[in-house]
Amino acid sequence: MIKVFIDKERDGPENMAIDVALAEHCEKKCNLLLRLYGWSPPCFSLGRFQSSDIIDHDYLKSRNYGFVRRPTGGGAVLHLSEITYSVVSRKESSQISVAGAELYIKVGRALDKAIRTMGVPTQISKMKPPRREEVCFGSSSVGEITVDGRKIVGSAQMRSGNSILQHGSIIVRAAPSIYSRCFRDSRTTALIRTIAAEMCGIEDCLEHDIDVEAFKEAIIKSFENVFQEHATLASIEDEGDEFWIRVDDLGRLFSSDDWSVGRLSLDRRNSYRQS
């Protein structure tokens, strides 16, 4: 069974807290979780191992954008016009193969199938980027979903304990000029041109707006098809007091400068207490 949460828009720290709490929860409760969600306010996220020095914090504040460091790796992302997904899989599931690389491939196939149902002619990239980019949508790598070489989905994983968390951004409409301004070197035309050339959104490809709810349904159906499991809708609000206490603890972690700027270690077995 695939347990599906169609969640509301939340701020950056709470979104990351929920994803990590679900990863911990999944070890005991189920084999596979899928969460679809959004961001309010729009948020700029750093990969786990990136330096916060690359960010133009004044620009983020001027637009009332949030900022958070993700528990997963990869490059920086502006969560603006997108659908964000997270998938949590238990490593010792007898029904679903959950090796990290295979999970990445299966999730990619499901998302590719869903985007194609919207009429977008996607491809799975077979190219390795010449170098690691600080900007998630500044280049495409092997296994990523692209349209004419431009990246439309960016994903990253975290493996810990007995579960794997993978989450990522499905771009609905690209905003390369705003995205580029979030970086300290955004005044260089090279960065703006790179992002504009390397990323795209579903609506950019179709040249019209999409029915977001219909697209979410397509994602769920594609996951059922690829994973050969029935999807059951559930409310994340019903996950229980223990789960939400953990979300609160993790939310304090993801809101802290120790984590966001100082790159504090993520100790998933202990609640974070802000001093």
Beta strands in 11-81 (DSSP E): 32-39, 43-46, 66-69, 77-79
Task: Say if CB 64 and CB 39 are below 8 A apart.
Answer: no
Q: Check residues 268 and 84 and name the one with the higher pLDDT.
A: 84
Per-residue CA distances from 33 to 15, 20, 167, 189, 219 (Å): 15, 12, 11, 41, 13
Alpha carbons 15 and 1: distance in angstroms, whole number: 23
pLDDT more than 70, % of the chain: 85
Query: 273: which 2 tokens?
Result: 């207490």
Q: How far apart are CA 184 and CA 75, in angstroms?
A: 15
Nearest to 140 by CA among 194, 187, 70: 194
- What is the Cα–Cα distance from 260 to 69, expressed in whole angstroms? 5
> Does 136 participate in catalysis according to the annotation?
yes
- pLDDT bin (cut points 50, 70, 90) of residue 94 is very low
In this predicted structure, what is the pLDDT of residue 97?
A: 45
| Cα 171 from Cα 236, distance rounded (Å) | 24
pLDDT at 187 over 80: no
Looking at residue 31, what is its pLDDT? 76
Report residue 113's pLDDT band, with 50, 70 and 90 as the boundaries.
very high
Write the pLDDT tens digit of every residue in 214-237. Answer: 999 999 999 999 999 999 999 999
CB burial class (10 A; 0-12, 13-18, 19+) of residue 265?
A: exposed
Where in the chain does DSSP place strands (E)?
Answer: 2-10, 32-39, 43-46, 66-69, 77-79, 82-90, 123-124, 145-147, 150-151, 153-160, 163-171, 231-234
247 or 138: which leads in pLDDT = 247
69 vs 60: CA distance, rounded Å? 14
Q: Quick one: average pLDDT of 156-173? A: 91
List the domains of the chain with CATH numbers: 2-260 (3.30.930.10)
8 A C-beta contact, residue 92 and residue 162: yes
Q: So what's the pLDDT on residue 99? A: 57
Q: How many CA atoms lie within 13 A of 258 on its CB side?
A: 13
pLDDT in tens, 137-151: 887 776 789 999 899
pLDDT of the residue at 128: 63
pLDDT of residue 188: 63
Locate 195 and state its tokens: 């992002």
pLDDT over 80 (residue 91): no
Exactly one of 26, 30, 43, 136 is catalytic; name it. Answer: 136
The pLDDT of residue 264 is 63
Asked if residue 117 lies in contact with residue 196, where contact means CB atoms within 8 angstroms, the answer is no
What is the distance between the alpha carbons of residues 85 and 36, in angstroms, rounded to a whole number? 5
The model's pLDDT over 125-138, given as tens digits with 9 standing for 90+, comes to 776 665 556 888 88
Q: What is the pLDDT at residue 125?
A: 78
Mean pLDDT of the chain, nearest integer? 87
The per-residue pLDDT for range 8-53, each reduced to its tens digit, is: 999 999 999 999 999 988 766 667 999 999 999 999 999 998 999 9
More confident residue, 26 or 183: 183
* pLDDT value for 275: 24
